[in-house]
Each structure stands twice: as structure tokens, then as C-alpha cells.
Structure 1
Amino acid sequence: LSTHIVKLGAGPDTVAADVIDTEVAVLDLARRAGFEAPRAWIESFAGARAIVVERFDRKVAEEGVGRIHQEDGAQALGLNTEDLDRKFQRGGRDLPSWRALAAVLTDSFSEPDGLLRLVTFKHAVGDVDFHAKNVSFLRRPDGSIKVAPVYDSAMHMHEPSGHDGRSAIEINGKSDMDAIAAADLVAEAVSWPIPERRAQRIVAQTLERLVVALDEISPSDHPGVGDRAWRVVRDRADRLSAESLKTAKTMTKRNVSRPIRG
């Protein structure tokens, strides 16, 4: 069994030339922000640049390499991905949706909080390719399920010619990445359902940890990631974090102003 995945990068003159570099950087940010994320780095093979990523669905022991049971979101929802577009929520489709993917967790009596953290993080870094095959679930021996570590995640919003600016799966009925606010992340989670105050806290904490991670990370450790990519992610994280704090204050005022009944 393989313990690593190797993916060749795009050509140097293409809009996707830095995707493998930003993927390494995003995984670094994820670890700094408190997520489980595999180690990854850039290697050259016969002059071709590639990303090497440790597999999170493997366990290495003295007796050899074993599998960790996992299934991606498309498999969990029973989607036929022979149609490569089926992993996206396009054209008014009901599936895939974050609500349905959250139900994979709640139906097995597992909390969906980890999924909300992941959706918040990937939205903030500008990952437009967060489709149903780029989220996975790990099944434990006791039958419970947890969200898999962060994987296949990159910065995209700094290169507008490489995408249409739409999220792969809608958040609170929206797909315009620039129009999806922190309040939409909370509203999406409430529909799963996560209680509103808990959802707001999870979103705010996730964004705060990302902002701190951006303060800590050294761009020199990721020379293939340009200044514009860092700036766009920083602007998104700062804006969303400020929005989440504003929402929290509004909720506090609303709760204080409620009349006492009884």
C-alpha cells in the first residue's frame, strides 16, 4: 500500500501554476490553526514539479502499512461520480449539500462541529474546489464517524481567470465566494442543525485561529506562493473574522434585550 500521494503541478505559464504551492501552504495553515492535516512538500522529478502528500488513510506499524476506513462525501451520499460534474452542487441540485453531508455525521450520533470548522476554514482561504470528493469521513470501530483531516485544499481567489468565483457547494443558498459572509456560515450550520450560539462560536474561533496562523506563518517557507495569494487570503480571513465578531455582539445584544417571561 502506498503511504504518499504524488501530484504533478501545472505548467509554469498556466493559471494553475502555483496550485501545488498554495496547497502546501494551506495544509501548513491548517495545522497551525488546529486542524489535522497531512505533511506535504514540493519535489522535482526529472525536472517536473510535484506535490508529495502523506496519506491520512494509512497507518504504518511494524507489521506493515494498513488502511484506515474512510469514504469521501460523494460516496457517503451515494452520488454517481462517473459524471465528473456530479460532485458539485450545480444547476439547482439538492445534492451534494453541506446539510446532507452533516447528516452523515448526525445520523451516526456524531457531532457535525468538525464539518463546520472545515467549511469555514476552506471558505476563508478561498478554496473554490471544495466539492463532495474533497471532504471525507473516517469510520471508527465503534461505528462513530469523524471528519477526515484537511486535504486537497488550495488558494484560488487570487487568480480570477482560473475559476468563476463560485463555491463548489452552496453555503446558505449562496455560491458567490465573495458574497458568502460569516453570517451565512452560521445560518448554514443552523440548518444542519447546530444551535445558533454554538455555530457562531465555532465560526468565530475557526476564523480567529486562521488569522493567528497567518500571523505566524513565514511566506519564505513557501516561496512558490506569491504576495497576491497571501494578501487575498489575509483580506478574506480578516473580513470574515470581523464579521463573525460583529454577529456575536449583535446576538448578545438581542439576548440581553429579550423580555423575561414567566
Structure 2
Amino acid sequence: MSYTALVTGASAGLGEEIARQLAALRVDLVLVARTERRLDAIAMQLRRSHGVSVEVLAADLSETSDLERVAARLADDDTPVDILVNNAGFGVLAPFERSDAEEERRLHEVLSWAPLRLSHAAIPGMLGRGRGWILNVASVAAFTPTGSYGAAKAAVVSLSRSLHARYADSGVHVTALCPGLLQTEFHERMGPHLPALSRLAFADTRRVAREGLRAVYRGSPVVSADWRYRVARPLTWILPDRLLERISAAGDHAPLAR
């Protein structure tokens, strides 16, 4: 039986790595990101390396028309999508009191509204086929007071838990993957605003992708990726919010977790 996965934010970082690991499993792909040129290059490489079908869908998920095009692709029963990976995201550098309201809107539309909308488009077909997997990339920031970024990621975790509880018995599994720091373009784009951190704080992107795919296959509603963040997560239950905020949002309050 062949499977097809749609991956958002697939042109770099964790999204690209998840797409590569799915291709290695002989899963056909629909790659979604804003930059069509980069998607085309990745698609060509994956077709040659793994012999899978790869479709490219350039879209900016903060734009309603683009988001609806992706939703329509997910709802197309003639070319069904079995696996949805909601990975697209970015961070707002400025502190909340100085941030641009339009950027805050875009942040929440990409980080929390887009996963909800795309899951809403995908689940009816998955239920009809009796199988489906949705991997929502959240963040360990969801468990800490990290401003609007953490709030958006907390919404993703809550949505994933709710959908998993509602649909797991029907064969549709939903998982929130919560990485910490990853050595990807997500943090490189923050440039000098990102505080100097030990490389020991960064998790391996390949391992995080692998853990996320295993978790959604096994039916885990939430997984904190990488052992160091699983060890640290209980601290979020006992440390004061003011201390957690200082640890989690250093520098210009840029989010320190994916």
C-alpha cells in the first residue's frame, strides 16, 4: 500500500528532514513552502534518490488564498493525503511591547491557525479511509511563558491532544512534536539577536524528525523531542514563571526553542 504525505515548511530545516525521512520510507510527498525554487530542487533530489512521487505546492500560509489552496489539496479524495505534517513557522524578534501587530497576526496564523485549518481539511477524508496521521510541530516553548510564540505553540499542543483523543479510535492519530533548540535556519535567521548558546543545547535535527515520525505512528499525543528536553520538561511544572521567562526568552525575547 502506498502512502502520501503533505509537509509544510518543507524547504529547509526540520520540515525538509522529515520529508527526506518519509521519502526514504517510500512515502510519496507534497512539499509546501513559500520558495518554489528551493522546493523544486529538493523534489528533484528526492525523486532521484528514492524513486518517490513528489509534488510541489508553493504557498504562503499567512495568506488566506494560499492556505485554502493547500486545504483543497488535502481534501481532494482523488489524490488522498495519508500523512499531514504541519511544520511551517517563524519567530518575531521584537519584544511584545515593541512588536509589529501585523507580524503578530502572521505568527499566529502560520503557527496555530494554519495547523487547525489544514487538519480540519484533512481529517474528514482520513476518517472515511479509516487511517491517517497528523504530526503538528509545536515546541517546548508551549510549556513555558515565552510570549506570543509560546502561546501559539501551546494552542497547537492543545489542539493535537484534543484531536488525538477524539479520533484515535477511528484510526486517525494526531501528535504534537515539541522540539527544543535545533541547528536550522529558524535560528540562523535571528542572526545577532540570538544569544550565544552552547552547542550542547542544540538537538540533532535528524533525531528529532525520527522521534516525531515514530511518535505519530505509535499514537502518542505529545512528545518532547531529544532526551535533554525530556529531562528538563518537569522543571516547567515547578519553577516560577518569572524564572522560566528569563531562561526561555533571553536576548531580544526571541524564542529559544523551535
Per the normalisation by structure 1, the TM-score is 0.29
Greater share of helix: 2
Per the normalisation by structure 2, the TM-score is 0.30
